[in-house]
Structure 1
Amino acid sequence: MLDISRLYVSYGESQVIRDISFTVRAHESVAIMGRNGMGKTTLLKSMIGLLPVHAGEIRLDGRAISGLPSYRRVQHGLAYVPQGRMVFPFLTVEQNILSGAEHSGHREVPDYIYRFFPVLKDMKHRNAGNLSGGQQQMLAIARALISDPKVLILDEPTEGIQPSIIKEIAQTLNVLRQERGFAVVVSEQVLSFALDLADRFLVIDRGCIVHEELRANLDQEKVKTFLTV
């Protein structure tokens, strides 16, 4: 479904992503684990088109999308929830969600979004800046989902969120991806969240994939060595 092949990404003369290749299958959830500064965010930004790729290829359903701008990648089926959520604080919850609907044609918030995130329905007329961190994360996910993605990309979704809400978000995403038929790529440092959500784990270190394992066979202690400073 989503194929990343021999990807290289640089900031100026500093090469951050080096020769990364992996595939995400339909409905699969893949966690990209690693410490800060190892290239997780850079990789995800290059996938959605916020950073240019210097070499390699990104294909979605067999179509090369590496040279497309971000909005065209959204049209083809990618959706992105950035680190820090980046909601519009002075727009209402409903306006925030609908701001992601440009390429899907939705003029109203679909019922399934409010069914999975009932707190957003209760607060739909409240400004997003007045929500808690966990509620803003739900809002950012809802805004991405309204584009009807094939692949949902999440960057550090647990940052600044209390543990009970983290578990709730993982459970909701699992049900959503089965019901709505999308895949997930998530960058994360919280192993417990990734274990609740991911089918497969990739560990990135200094811009390279250094370990890959299915959840069923995961050596948690080995992964933890890549997450500790």
Structure 2
Amino acid sequence: MLEVSGLNVAYGESQVIRDVSLHVAPGEAVAVMGRNGMGKTTLLKSLIGLLPARGGHIRLGGADITRLPSYQRVAQGLAFVPQGRMVFPFLTVEQNILSGAAKSGHRTVPEYLYRFFPVLKDMRQRKAGNLSGGQQQMLAIARALISEPKLLILDEPTEGIQPSIIKEIAQTLNVLRAERGFAIVVSEQVLSFALDLADRFLVIDRGRLVHDEARATLDQDKVRSFLTV
């Protein structure tokens, strides 16, 4: 489904992503692991089009989207939940979710989103700025999913969230993925969350992918060694 080949991304003259190639199969969940500053967020922003590629190609379903702006990538089937969630604090929960509906054309919140995130239904008229961090993360995911993506991209979704909510979000995403048929790419430092969610693990170090392993054979100690300073 997603094919990335020879991707290079830079901030000014500073190259951050170096010759990265990866693939994500339909319905697969892939975790990109690494310490802060290793290029996780830059890689994900380049996939959604917030940062331009200096070289290489990004293909979705065989179509080259490397030069497309973000809104066109969303129309092609990508959805993005940024680090820090970035909900609209003065809009209600319902208004926030519907703000992501341009591609799908939904005029009301689909029932399945409230079924998977019942707290959002209970709080649908509450302003998003009054929600907890975990509730805001659920809201950000629901806003992304209303576009009915083929691939959901999440950047550090566990940041600032209590452990019990982290586990709940992983379980919900797994069931949603099975029911709705989308794939996931998630950048993460919390290995327990990634183990609950991902089928395959990539490790990024200084802008290069240095490890790629399926969950079934994962050497957790080796992955942890890349996450510690």
- TM-score (norm: length of structure 2): 1.00
Secondary structure at the residue paired with 2:66?
coil
Q: 1:128-147 to 2 correspondence within 5 Å?
A: 128-147=128-147
Give 2:210's aligned amino acid.
V
Aligned equivalents of 1:157 and 1:32: distance in 2? Answer: 12
Give the ranges of 4+ consecutive aligned residues of structure 1 lying more than 3 Å apart after TM superposition: none
1:38 matched to which residue of 2?
A: 38
Q: How far is 1:91 from its partner?
A: 0.1
User: Residues 1-229 of structure 1: matches in 2 within 5 Å?
Assistant: 1-229=1-229
Q: Aligned partners of 1:106, 1:53: CA distance in 2, in Å? A: 32
Q: Using the TM superposition, give the Cα deviation of residue 148 of structure 1 relative to its aligned residue in structure 2, in angstroms.
A: 0.2
Amino acid corresponding to residue 17 of structure 2 in structure 1 = I
- Counterpart of 2:32 in structure 1: which amino acid? I
Aligned-pair distance for 1:29? 0.1
Alignment length (residue pairs): 229
Partner Cα separation in structure 2 for residue 149 and residue 214 of structure 1 = 24
Mapped to 1, the partners of 2:51 and 2:192 lie a distance apart of 29
Q: Tell me, in whole angstroms, the C-alpha distance in 2 between the residues paired with 1:42 and 1:216.
A: 28
Does the residue aligned with 2:6 lie in a helix, a strand or coil?
strand
CA distance in 2, matches of 1:133, 1:96: 15
Which segments of 5 or more consecutive residues in structure 1 lack a partner in the other structure?
A: none
Report how far residue 98 of structure 1 moved: 0.1
Per the TM alignment, residue 103 of structure 1 is displaced from its structure 2 partner at its CA by 1.1
Measured against aligned partners, the alpha-carbon deviations of 1:152-174 in whole angstroms (never above 9, x if no partner) come to 00000000000000000000000
State the secondary structure of the residue aligned to 2:44: helix
Percent identity of the aligned residues?
79
Task: Name the CA distance, whole Å, in 2 between partners of 1:143 and 1:3.
Answer: 25
Q: Name the aligned partner's letter for residue 139 of structure 2.
A: L
Query: Can you list the C-alpha shifts for 1:23-65, whole angstroms capped at 9, x where unaligned?
Result: 0000000000000000000000000000000000000000000
Residue type at the aligned position of 2:19 = D
**How many angstroms apart in 2 are the aligned matches of 1:4 and 1:135?**
32
Q: 2:84 is aligned with what amino acid?
A: G
| Rounded Cα–Cα distance in structure 2 between residues aligned with 1:61 and 1:103 | 17
Quote the offset at 1:189 in angstroms: 0.1
- Cα-to-partner distance string for 1:74-98 (whole Å, 9 max, x where unaligned): 0000000000000000000000000
